[in-house]
């Protein structure tokens, strides 16, 4: 059992007969006789839909054990990505709807932790920041302002905004959850 005030992102719970993964949660303490509340953003593990709900802080919820396993990405087809267990060489196909927008950043040979619930994959955990190469972008403009951004296309086809000083061939660091530029990657000299 888990008390609602102990909820943390990444946990899986069962509430009203449905399984949910906690995407985010925020605890608000109560005043006087008013009890606190926990505002949570949940993902339904069977339908994939997102739901926001407020729980009383003292509400008891059922915590579901989630198994994590590190698998190696092999390849992708139109609707699935295929991973392999590096120890047993078993392969598993995971729907792109489970992986989410991060599926565009998968590269062959990449090792990622995958969460399983009752033997079924429920999510793929990407690193917070990844390095990607810029394939195409406009030449930089020399202006006094530092807040000008331009479009850049990465080697996986994703387009995002980068600062003016980034040029084609540069390697940049991207925050995967927001798909935003962080900084230019350091190159070995």
User: What is the residue whose two structure tokens read 């061939």?
Assistant: 169
What pLDDT was estimated at residue 71?
93
**CATH fold match for the domains 67-124 and 129-184:** yes
The pLDDT of residue 70 is 93
Per-residue buried b or exposed e for 34-71, using 16+ beta carbons within 10 Å of the residue's own CB: eeebbebbbbebeeeeeeeeebebeeebeebebeeeeb
Give the start-to-end residue ranges of the domains of the chain.
2-64, 67-124, 129-184
Bridge partners, 189 (sequence order): none
pLDDT at residue 165 in the model = 86
3-state SS record for the chain: CEEHHHCCCCCEEEECCEEEEEEEEEEECCCCCCCCEEEEEEEECCCCCEEEEEEECCCEEEEECCEEEEEEEEEECCCEEEEECCCCCCEEEEEHHHHHHHHHHCCCCCEEEEEEECCEEEEECCCCEEEEEEEEECCCCCCCCCCCEEEEEECCCCEEEEECCCCCCCEEEEECCCCEEEEECCCCC
Give the CATH number of domain 2-64; options: 1.10.287.180, 3.20.10.10, 2.30.30.30, 3.40.50.880. 2.30.30.30
Residues 6+ apart with CB under 8 A from 159: 151, 152, 153
CA distance 84 to 125: 15
CATH of domain 129-184: 2.40.50.140
> Does CATH number 3.20.20.140 belong to domain 67-124?
no
pLDDT on residue 111: 93
Structural tokens at position 150: 């331009």
Mean pLDDT by 10 residues, the chain (189 residues): 84 88 85 80 84 88 89 89 92 86 85 88 87 85 68 88 87 87 77
Task: Say which residue the tokens 């994959």 belong to.
Answer: 121
């Amino acid at each position: 059992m888990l008390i609602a005030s102990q909820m943390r992102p990444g946990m899986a719970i069962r509430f009203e007969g449905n399984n949910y993964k906690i995407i985010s949660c925020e605890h608000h303490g109560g005043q006087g006789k008013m009890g606190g509340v926990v505002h949570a953003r949940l993902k339904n593990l069977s339908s994939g839909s997102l739901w926001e709900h407020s729980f009383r802080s003292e509400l008891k919820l059922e915590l579901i054990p989630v198994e994590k396993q590190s698998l190696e990405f092999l390849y992708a087809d139109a609707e699935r990505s295929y991973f392999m267990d590096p120890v047993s060489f078993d392969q598993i196909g995971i729907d792109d709807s489970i992986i989410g927008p991060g599926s565009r950043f998968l590269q062959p040979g990449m090792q990622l932790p995958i969460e399983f619930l009752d033997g079924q994959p429920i999510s793929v955990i990407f690193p917070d920041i990844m390095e990607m190469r810029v394939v195409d972008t406009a030449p930089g403009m020399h202006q006094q302002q530092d807040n000008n951004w331009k479009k850049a296309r990465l080697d996986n086809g994703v387009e995002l905004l980068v600062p003016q000083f980034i040029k084609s061939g540069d390697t940049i660091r991207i925050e995967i959850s927001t798909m935003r530029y962080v900084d230019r990657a350091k190159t070995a000299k």
